[in-house]
């Protein structure tokens, strides 16, 4: 796993534990080059989902991309990485259980907005 801060190829796993009823693994990593710490999640992908972009292009659903865009959207709020992970989980489950094999970026965007608005209600 590459360090997202300096691009160093070798980061060390400091801690690893099962989460979400053992369906995922969370690892804390540290970069020996710049000393940055970050967290990664590993998870089984149940079904492949195709995302249709606005321009009609098709691409595989990318869980990490979704997680990144949500992290960006909430970066000014006190929301933990685990919380973001939970949101991503529930969205992914929603997409996968919809019965459709394709989803548009517009639908994804709306679902994200929806999930984030619920977050505000709780906070
Ligand atoms: Zn680094």
CA of 2 to the centre of ligand 1 (A): 8
Helix (H, G, I), strand (E, B) or coil at 108: helix
Tell me, what's the pLDDT at 48?
77
Query: What pTM was computed for the model?
Result: 0.58
Residue 13 C-alpha to ligand 1 middle, in angstroms?
13
* Model pLDDT, residue 43: 77
Cα(118)–Cα(101) distance, integer angstroms: 26
Residues with CB under 5 A from ligand 1 (ion): 3, 5-6, 8, 31, 33-34, 36
- Compute the distance from residue 29 Cα to the ligand 1 centre, in Å: 10
Distance 34 CA to ligand 1 centre (A): 4
Measured in angstroms, how far is the CA atom of residue 67 from the centroid of ligand 1?
21
DSSP 32-92: TTT--EEEEEEE---S--EEEPTTS-EEE--HHHHHHHHHHHTTTS---HHHHHHHHHHHH
pLDDT per residue as tens digits for the range 5-57: 999 999 999 999 988 777 788 999 999 999 999 999 887 666 678 999 999 99
Q: Are residues 103 and 95 in contact, defined by beta-carbon separation less than 8 angstroms?
A: yes
Q: Separation of 64 CA from ligand 1 center, angstroms? A: 19
Q: What is the Cα–Cα distance from 12 to 40, expressed in whole angstroms?
A: 12
Q: What is the pLDDT of residue 55?
A: 95
């Amino acid at each position: 796993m590459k360090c997202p801060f300096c691009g160093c190829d070798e980061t060390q796993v400091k801690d690893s534990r099962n989460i979400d009823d053992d369906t995922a693994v969370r690892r804390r990593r540290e970069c020996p080059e710049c000393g940055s710490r970050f967290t990664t999640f590993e998870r089984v992908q149940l079904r492949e989902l195709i995302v249709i972009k606005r321009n009609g292009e098709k691409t595989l659903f990318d869980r990490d991309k979704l997680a990144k865009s949500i992290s960006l959207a909430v970066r000014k709020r006190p929301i933990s990485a685990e919380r973001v992970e939970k949101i991503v989980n529930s969205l992914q489950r929603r997409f996968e259980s919809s019965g459709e094999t394709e989803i548009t970026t517009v639908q994804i965007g709306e679902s994200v907005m929806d999930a984030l608005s619920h977050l505000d209600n709780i906070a």
